[in-house]
Structures are given as C-alpha cells and as structure tokens.
Amino acid sequence: MKTDLSTYNNSWYNPGSKFKRLLWYVISLLFFEGGWNISSGLKIALLRIFGAKIGQGVVIKPRISIKYPWKLQIGNHCWIGENVWIDNLDEVTIENHVCISQGALLICGNHNYKKSSFDLFVAPIALKEGSWVGAKSMVSPGVTLNSHAVLSLGSVATMDLEAYSIYSGNPATRVKTRKIEQP
C-alpha cells in the first residue's frame, strides 16, 4: 500500500466560519505576530472578543501565533513567551501559573501516517497548574502536562507528563522529580 494524497479529505473538520477565520487572521497579523510589544491587555481583550477564556494577570509577549482563539482557555497569572505557536486545531487548556517559554509549539493536529489518505486527526492539549513548557519545546496532540510538570529546553512531549516531574529529550523522558522551594 502507498500513500495517496489525492484521497485526502478533511471535510469533517470545521473550526469556524470562513469570515471569522479571515477576520482573526487579519487581527492576528496586526496585533500578535509582529515584533512590536503591544500591551498584553489589548491582546487579551482581542482574544476574548474572539471567544478565548482568559484569567487575570496573563502576560503575552510579541510574535505569537494562535490558530483559533475560540478553542483557547488560559487561567490566571500565565506567561506566554515570544515566538510561541499555539496551533490549536482542538481545545488548548492552560491552567493557572503556567509558563510557556519562547519558541514553544503546542500542536493539536497531525496526520495519520498509517492511512493511505494521510487523514487529519486532532486532539486537545492540557497544561495543568504550575507546569512549564521550556523554550523551543513541543507538545504533541492529546498530551497533558500534569501539575507542575516541566518539559525542558528543546524537548518533545509525545505522552502525558507526570506531576512534579522534569522531562527532557525527543521523545521526552522523565529525568527527575521537581522540587519547588518556598521563599
């Protein structure tokens, strides 16, 4: 059997009206993907207008890409670093006190390499309270970073990460326990 991309059909996938997606694309280019540091408050207001649920004290840096804000939920006191790409073809839930460092990628969709038609599949991502996605790291479709889990610099999470654990590598494997000191 060989791959036959002529049979690819993702007509089942409907992330929103074409007008809504086009309008978001323009807003995203103007206010999110540029290098100027427009206030987090304005970015949050625009995300909320497009259906995102966002808590208090959220910091959003420049040059970020969010595919569909209506599929995004961010808790309180979260940081989203420069050049983060949230490719949320499915729901992305970011709980309180989560850090997503610069250049990280949260990707909710992929293709089924086992099917000749290379069908699209999507699955949600959840970043639980206190978790941290390190710089240039990637979170795959369907993955949960449990409470206070860390995905270290340049690592790829292809499975759920245990609470209070630090993961490294591609694919990421558990390397040690996270201990948090109180000031």
Span 61-90, average pLDDT: 98
Percentage of the chain modeled with pLDDT above 90:
91
Residue 4: inside a domain: no
Other beta carbons within 10 angstroms of residue 80's beta carbon come to 24
In a domain, 1, yes or no: no
Separation between Cα atoms, residue 162 and residue 167, nearest integer Å: 9
Give the sheet arrangement for strand 144-145, strand by strand. 53-54, 72-74, 92-94, 125-127, 144-145
Does residue 6 sit within a domain?
no
In a domain, 12, yes or no: no
Residue 133 belongs to a domain = yes
How many domains does the chain divide into? 1
pLDDT confidence bin for 180, thresholds 50/70/90:
very high
Is residue 116 in some structural domain?
yes
Q: pLDDT higher for 49 or 2?
A: 49
pLDDT of 182 higher than 90:
no
- With beta carbons less than 8 A apart as the criterion, state whether 92 and 86 touch: yes
In the chain, the amino acid numbered 30 is L
* Confidence band, pLDDT 50/70/90 cuts, at residue 35: confident
pLDDT recorded at residue 36: 83
* For residue 183, cis peptide bond before it (omega within 30 degrees of 0): no
User: Does some domain include residue 9?
Assistant: no
The whole domain housing 35 covers: 17-176
Q: Which three-class secondary structure string do you get for the chain?
A: CCCCHHHCCCCCCCCCCHHHHHHHHHHHHHHCCCCCCCCHHHHHHHHHHCCCEECCCCEECCCCEECCHHHEEECCCCEECCCCEEECCCCEEECCCCEECCCCEEECEEECCCCCCCCEEECCEEECCCCEECCCCEECCCCEECCCCEECCCCEECCCECCCEEEEECCEEEEEECCCCCC
8 domain residue, yes or no: no
Per-residue pLDDT of 100-125, as tens digits, reads 999 999 999 999 999 999 999 999 99
Which CATH number characterizes residue 140's domain?
2.160.10.10
